[in-house]
Structure 1
Amino acid sequence: MDVLVKLSQFLLSLSLLIVLHELGHFIPAKLFKTRVEKFYLFFDIKFSLFKKKVGDTVYGIGWLPLGGYVKIAGMIDESMDTDQLKQEPQPWEFRSKPAWQRLIIMLGGVTVNFILAFVIYIGMTWFYGDKYIANDTLKDGVWVTSEVLEDVGMQSGDKIISIDGQHLERFDEAAMKIIMGKEILVDRNGVQETIKLPVDFINSASKRKKTKLLMPRMPFVVGGFTDDSPNKDVLQPKDFVTAVNGQKISYFDQMDDVLKQLSNKEVPAKITRDNKEIDVVLKVNAEGMIGVSPALITHNDAEKLGLYKLSTDRYSFAESVPVGVNMGINKLKEYGQQLKLIGNPDTGAYKEVGGFMAIFNIFPDFWSWEAFWQITALLSIMLGVMNLLPIPALDGGHVLFLLYEMISGRKPSDKFLEYAQTVGFVILIALLLFANGNDIFKAITGK
């Protein structure tokens, strides 16, 4: 059932992005009286799930959910249908239109992608508000949950001051800034420490099993038990462990160091259950563990416990416009920085390029409209940027040739465009195989 929920969100988001992107090409083509022969959601290789001709255009749904397309008459595209080009140009064909009209048609898709992302961010800001954990409310610092951060010298309890010289105001932004950063300035017991991040930090982080680098510090609340836990009869879910062997336990991350000294021992402990303090005896195994897993604490419970403050900035619709636009610009900059990391072999970030399975896994296994729109907005930005890459089979490749034509006054020959389209198609297939190959490799190896 969880998989169906993820799949439903994935397909709905993908369908929305594809249809709107292709509408971005379709509408200006129609405005400039250019014939559109096909408008398809997904690819219809060999057969279609649905199709209907209205006027000059066949509208349909293909069976292969790897994208979609509009087939514009008189244009060399991914269909590689060049028979029409052997005839004399017709006034309703793409190739007969002025270069500026063809440029607008080709830029229509990515323009819609960016507009959609900004509209979603504006709508979310207005409807949900801008939610975040204020970094300065983490009074006892952060919980470092990834060994890769510990390896570079960061410790639980560190208070993050800045990343790459920029003051950190929102804890929610810390992980992304760290992944793309070079150094972290922290306050450790009143002393400032600078933590240098290696150039391949993102590659090292991806190899570890834990998905989160750091979290707000949480109290030791029992969530569940391992199969061989020696304390199933002593502890209960939702118990707060507050002291072990006379040592106060305020946070879950403090337990490891305490238990390492108590292997194979039975030790006194204090727990809080139903607002009552209870004395118990815990059994510690040979590995220095008591066989329990932590409970997830909601934002509301964390606020009640005084762990941090969840801030929500509310805006009127008029106020949400600049805030949402600024949010979209920041996401666009972040994605540009990620592409820069991927383009630098030293970072190893190219190993983390994912395909459709990676996108599928972004969606939660429960239905959340807030998460759905957040992810869809980000994917819309990604789709817009990727389509602008100067690869012949993409919109960016067509735009590049059109700009050359407009500047030089010379139109590339149909044969050149045909060859370029073939080269671009090969590049795209290679990128798809690489990205989805990464997905398959990770699924097989678990890395």
Structure 2
Amino acid sequence: MEFVIKIGQFLLSLSLLIVLHELGHFIPAKAFKTRVEKFYLFFDVKYSLFKKKIGETVYGIGWLPLGGYVKIAGMIDESMDKEQMAKPPQPWEFRSKPAWQRLIIMLGGVFVNFVLAYLIYVVLSFAYGDTDITLKSMKDGYQIDNPLLNDLGFKTGDKIIALDDVKVKSHRDVIKGLVETEKYTIDRNGEEVTIQLPVDFLGQLTSRKVKGKLFKVRHPFMVGEIKDTMVNKGIDLKEGDVLLSIDGKDLKYYDQFEPRMLTYKNQTVNSVFLRGNDTITRQLKVDSEGFVGIVPMKNPKRFEELGYYDITLKEYTFLESFGGGKDKFVEQVSSYWGQLGKIFNPSTGAYKGVGGFKAIYDVFPSTWNWADFWNLTAFLSIMLGVLNLLPIPALDGGHVMFLLFEMVSGRKPSEKFLENAQLVGFIILLALVLFANGNDIFKAVFN
């Protein structure tokens, strides 16, 4: 079921982004009376799953889910239709249109990607507001169990004060700075400590086999599901019960639970839980490996009620949501450009973390949540827009680069040059796709 939910979100998001991106090219092309011969979701190598001709355009769905395309007449694109290009230009062809019209057509897809992301952030701001956790309220700091961070000097309980000497006040500030931060200032038991990350931190992080968040908000052990196959089958515990102590010793945080259980292998220990406002005592059995067979759950609102941290909610009116959406959009675009900068800088090792379709699939949660789905779709839309702006022939950015050259110099590159550039661009893109998806395979096999 988890696979169905994740793949469903993945395909829905990808299909939506592809169709809207190509629609961004299609609409201005039609507005400038340029013939569009094909409009496809996914690639139709050899055959199509579906196709129907309406007017002069064939609309279809291909079988290869690596993207989509519109085939615009008289344009040197992925179709490499040399036969058509060898004929005299026709007034309805792309190559016959003024440079400014061709520029608008080429920028249409990226424009739609950015507008879509912005509108999604506007709606999310209005519908959900901004939820955050204040760092000041996290009295015992973060849970930090990533081996690389531990090797660099971070410890569970550290409170983050500043990132690159810029003070931070909320958990969201810390998450936003994960990729670009080089120096952390932390409070450790009242002492200020500075930790400088190595240049290749992102590369080292990717090479480690441990997955999960770097800085985890600490919370108590809350009972979720009790497995029927484990030692505590039938125990009188309910979802939402919070573990307070084991064997007479307080246990405040979940990260303290597993180490404590290892000391009680093959034993039954007296445990105190909080149920509502009352405390209850239960005998908790521990198996030979230190497991109790209870799957924990999270309930941030309940954790706030118990005093573990303070949750802030910033709500937006309809008009304010446009400003909130703009802030999120600008923040994400800036962050993604920063990530690309590190990826293209070999010294950072960030290229090791580049992923393909499996990496995108993995970011979707295993449960369906519309807020998460639209947040991820907005980010992927920005990613698609930014990547398409890269000045690589065969991408929109490559076409734009040549069009800008034409508009500035007054000279149009020859069709032979554009064909060769398109071929080089395909080779570059193929290499990037193979590298990204090869990284996915490597990590799946060796991590």
Same fold (TM over 0.5): yes
Q: Is the 8 A contact 1:245 1:267 kept in 2?
A: no
Structure 2 residue aligned with 1:129: 129
1:435 — aligned with what? 436
> Does the Cα contact within 8 Å between 1:223 and 1:292 map onto a contact in 2?
no
1:278-314: CA deviation from partner (whole Å, max 9, x where unpaired): 38587696x8x46566612211221121111222211
Q: Retained in 1: the 8 A contact 2:147–2:210?
A: no
**Taking structure 1 as reference, are residues 82 and 137 closer, same or farther at Cα in structure 2, changes over 3 Å only?**
same
Per-residue CA deviation, residues 232-279 of structure 1 (Å, 9 max, x unaligned), is: 79895766443456543222334567677x577969754225433538
Indicate the residue corresponding to 1:162 in structure 2.
Answer: 162
Matching residue of 1:419: 420
Does residue 138 of structure 1 match 2:141?
Answer: no
Following the alignment from structure 1 to structure 2, what is the Cα–Cα distance between the partners of residues 345 and 218? 38
Residue in 2 aligned with 1:392? 393
Contact in 1 for aligned 2:201/2:348 (Cα 8 Å): yes
Rate the CA distance shift 1:76–1:245 in 2: closer, same or farther, 3 A.
same
Deviation at 1:50, TM superposition (A): 1.4
Unmatched segments (≥5 aa) in structure 2: none
Distance in 1, matches of 2:261 and 2:301, equals: 30
- Offset at 1:179? 3.5
1:239–1:271 Cα contact (<8 Å) kept: no
Q: Distance in 2 between matches of 1:334 and 1:135?
A: 22
Deviations 1:377-420 (A, max 9, x none): 00000000000111111000011111111111111111010011
Greater shift in the superposed pair: 402-411 or 339-348: 339-348
Cα shift readout 1:212-236 (whole Å, capped 9, x = no counterpart): 1122212244557899988779895
Q: Which amino acid aligns with 1:249?
A: L
**Code of the aligned partner of 2:432:** L
**Alignment: residue pair count:** 443
Does structure 1 retain, via aligned residues, the 8 Å contact 2:223–2:297? no
Contact 1:363 1:372 in 2 (8 A): yes
Residue 253 of structure 2 corresponds to 251
Q: Establish whether residue 358 from structure 1 lines up as the match of residue 359 from structure 2.
A: yes
Structure-2 change in CA distance of 1:201 and 1:407 (3 Å): same
Contact 2:142–2:216 (CA under 8 A) maintained in structure 1: yes
Question: C-alpha deviations, 1:8-53, integer Å up to 9, x for none?
Answer: 2111111111111111111111111111111111111111111111
Q: Which residue identity lines up with residue 330 of structure 1 in the other structure? A: E
Separation in 2, partners of 1:82, 1:315: 54
- Residue of structure 2 in register with 1:174 after alignment: 174
How do residues 172-321 of structure 1 correspond to structure 2 at under 5 angstroms? 172-206=172-206, 207-221=208-222, 240-244=242-246, 247-255=249-257, 262=263, 270-272=271-273, 274=275, 275-278=278-281, 289=290, 291=292, 295-321=296-322
Is the partner of 1:83 in helix, strand or coil? helix
CA contact (8 A) 1:39 1:57 kept: yes
Which residue is equivalent to 1:91? 91
| Residue identity (%) | 53
Q: Any idea what the Cα deviations from partners look like across 1:351-391, whole Å, max 9, x if unmatched? A: 11111111111111222111111011000000000001111
2:95 partner letter:
R
- Whether the 8 Å contact between 1:114 and 1:381 is mirrored in structure 2 is yes
- Aligned amino acid, residue 346 of structure 2: P
Contact 1:20 1:113 in 2 (8 A): yes
With normalisation by structure 2, the TM-score equals: 0.91
1:131-168 superposed Cα distances (whole Å, 9 cap, x missing partner): 22222221221111322222211121221111112222
In 2, the alpha carbon distance for the partners of 1:293 and 1:165 equals: 42
Output the TM-score relative to the length of structure 1: 0.91
Return the alpha-carbon distance in structure 2 between the equivalents of residues 281 and 194 of structure 1.
Answer: 41
In 2, Cα distance between equivalents of 1:61 and 1:234: 53
Which residue number in structure 1 is paired with residue 149 of structure 2? Answer: 149
- Asked if structure 2 preserves the Cα contact closer than 8 Å seen for 1:387 and 1:394, the reply is yes
| Cα pair distance change 1:279/1:13, threshold 3 Å | closer
What residue number does 2:61 align with?
61
How big is each residue's C-alpha offset from its partner over 1:174-208, in whole Å with a ceiling of 9 and x where there is no partner? 24413431111111122211122122222333323
Distance 1:249 1:70, change over 3 A: same
SS in 1 for 2:82: coil
Cα distance, 1:380–1:153 mapped onto 2, change above 3 Å: same
What's the counterpart of residue 35 of structure 2? Answer: 35
Structural mapping, 1:326-345, within 5 Å: 326-345=327-346
- Give structure 1 stretches of 5+ with no counterpart: none
* Aligned Cα root-mean-square deviation (Å): 2.6
Distance 1:230 1:400, change over 3 A: same
The question of 1:82 aligning with 2:85 is answered no
Look up the SS of the partner of 1:178 in the other structure.
coil
Q: Name the CA shift for 1:241/1:425 in 2 (closer, same or farther; >3 Å).
A: same
CA contact (8 A) 1:244 1:267 kept: no
